[in-house]
């Protein structure tokens, strides 16, 4: 490992040992679990644009095709398991160094690793919500209903995206049957925030509260390209709160970072857990 990175990790270890750390995580943290990120080294190139809320609710054909792709994509996302990075964050939290966690990810892997006080900014693919009555359904139950409604569906994914949307050949999408809410017959969607949809205000408020109470904001695996996550870095910088970023490749948070480590999270984070507490 490069000498500069070793020195940076030592500095980050000192910051973490002081406590008061809030984590902001992005897709790069889950790549070692087999989930591709959006823009980093393991990112998958999309052949189609991400689903928007307006298209999902207004276009039945697009919605059917989305559900076919999402149903297949869930087979990969749902089987993903926490990696060393997730476990390290949970361990640091259990040690008292890390407080709350804000994640842009929708895979639930922080909680699966044992973390708590996790704000899921963009929701969680493991839940299905009814847009009419608001009922939440576990993805496993919804998946069984889709299997029953589509006994001959045999789509093969060409690629997977971090939001659980798989890329499929057009012929695999035709004829897929969508199921509606069992309680009210309403429209179902994954309980995640689509493009064109706003993050629920209570999640944003809670995230700002965590950031404003932090001594250090630790950004893990995020390019901070979209404002949804970058706004918390901007708030921390405005308040004079230290910002540390561990990410592979370019990040738009660089101008605000007191510490920027371009190294694999699966190496950096477990090393930090092994450091002695203050």
Q: In this predicted structure, what is the pLDDT of residue 47?
A: 46
In sequence order, what DSSP letters do the residues of 138-202 get, joined into one string? EHHHHHHHHHHH-TT-----SEE-TTSPEE--HHHHTTPPP---TTT---EEEEEPPBTSPPPHH
What is the token pair recorded at 184?
Answer: 């009210």
State the burial class of residue 260 (Cβ atoms within 10 Å of its Cβ: 0-12, 13-18, 19+).
middle
133: annotated binding-site residue? yes
> Which value, in Å, is the radius of gyration of the alpha carbons in the chain?
19
Asked if 208 contacts 233 with a C-beta cutoff of 8 angstroms, the reply is no
First to last CA, the chain: 25
Per-residue model confidence as pLDDT tens digits over 94-132: 999 999 999 999 999 999 999 999 999 999 999 999 999
Per-residue model confidence as pLDDT tens digits over 219-262: 999 999 989 999 999 999 999 999 999 999 999 999 999 999 99
Q: Is the pTM of this model over 0.75?
A: yes
181: annotated binding-site residue? yes
Q: Give the contacts of 267 (CB within 8 A, at least 6 positions apart).
A: 1
Query: What is the residue-level pLDDT of the chain in tens, covering all 278 positions?
Result: 677 889 999 999 999 999 999 999 999 999 999 888 754 444 444 445 778 999 999 999 999 989 998 998 888 788 999 999 999 999 999 999 999 999 999 999 999 999 999 999 999 999 999 999 999 999 999 999 999 999 988 776 666 666 677 777 677 777 899 999 999 999 999 999 998 899 999 999 999 999 999 999 999 999 999 899 999 999 999 999 999 999 999 999 999 999 999 999 999 999 999 765 44
CA 38 vs. chain centroid, Å, equals 10
Asked if 162 contacts 36 with a C-beta cutoff of 8 angstroms, the reply is yes
CATH number, domain with residue 264? 3.40.50.1220
Examine the residue annotation and report whether 122 is marked as an active-site residue of this protein: yes
From the list 122, 142, 202, 271, the catalytic residue is 122
Asked if 218 contacts 29 with a C-beta cutoff of 8 angstroms, the reply is no
Strand 98-103, strand 118-120: pairing: parallel
The domain total for the chain is: 1
Structural domain that includes position 158: 3-274
């Amino acid at each position: 490992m490069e000498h500069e990175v070793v020195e940076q990790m030592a500095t980050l270890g000192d910051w973490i040992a002081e406590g008061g750390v809030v984590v902001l995580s992005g897709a790069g943290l889950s790549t070692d679990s087999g989930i591709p990120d959006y823009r980093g080294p393991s990112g998958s190139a999309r052949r189609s644009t991400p689903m928007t809320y307006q298209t999902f609710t207004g276009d039945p054909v697009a919605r059917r095709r989305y559900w076919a792709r999402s149903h297949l994509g869930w087979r990969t996302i749902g089987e993903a398991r926490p990696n060393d990075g997730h476990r390290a964050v949970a361990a640091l939290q259990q040690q008292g160094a890390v407080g709350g966690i804000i994640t842009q990810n929708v895979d639930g892997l922080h909680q699966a690793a044992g973390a708590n006080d996790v704000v899921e900014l963009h929701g969680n693919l493991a839940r299905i919500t009814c847009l009419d009555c608001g009922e939440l359904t576990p993805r496993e139950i919804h998946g069984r209903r889709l299997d029953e409604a589509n006994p001959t569906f045999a789509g093969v994914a060409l690629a997977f995206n971090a939001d659980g949307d798989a890329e499929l050949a057009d012929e695999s999408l035709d004829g897929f049957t969508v199921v509606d809410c069992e309680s009210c017959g309403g429209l179902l969607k994954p309980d995640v925030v689509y493009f064109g949809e706003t993050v629920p205000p209570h999640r944003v408020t809670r995230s700002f509260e965590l950031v404003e109470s932090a001594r250090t904001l630790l950004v893990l695996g995020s390019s901070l390209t979209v404002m949804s996550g970058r706004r918390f870095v901007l708030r921390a910088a405005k308040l004079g709160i230290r910002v540390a970023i561990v990410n592979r490749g370019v990040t738009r948070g660089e101008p605000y970072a007191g510490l920027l480590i371009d190294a694999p999270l699966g190496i950096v984070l477990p090393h930090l857990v092994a450091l002695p507490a203050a």
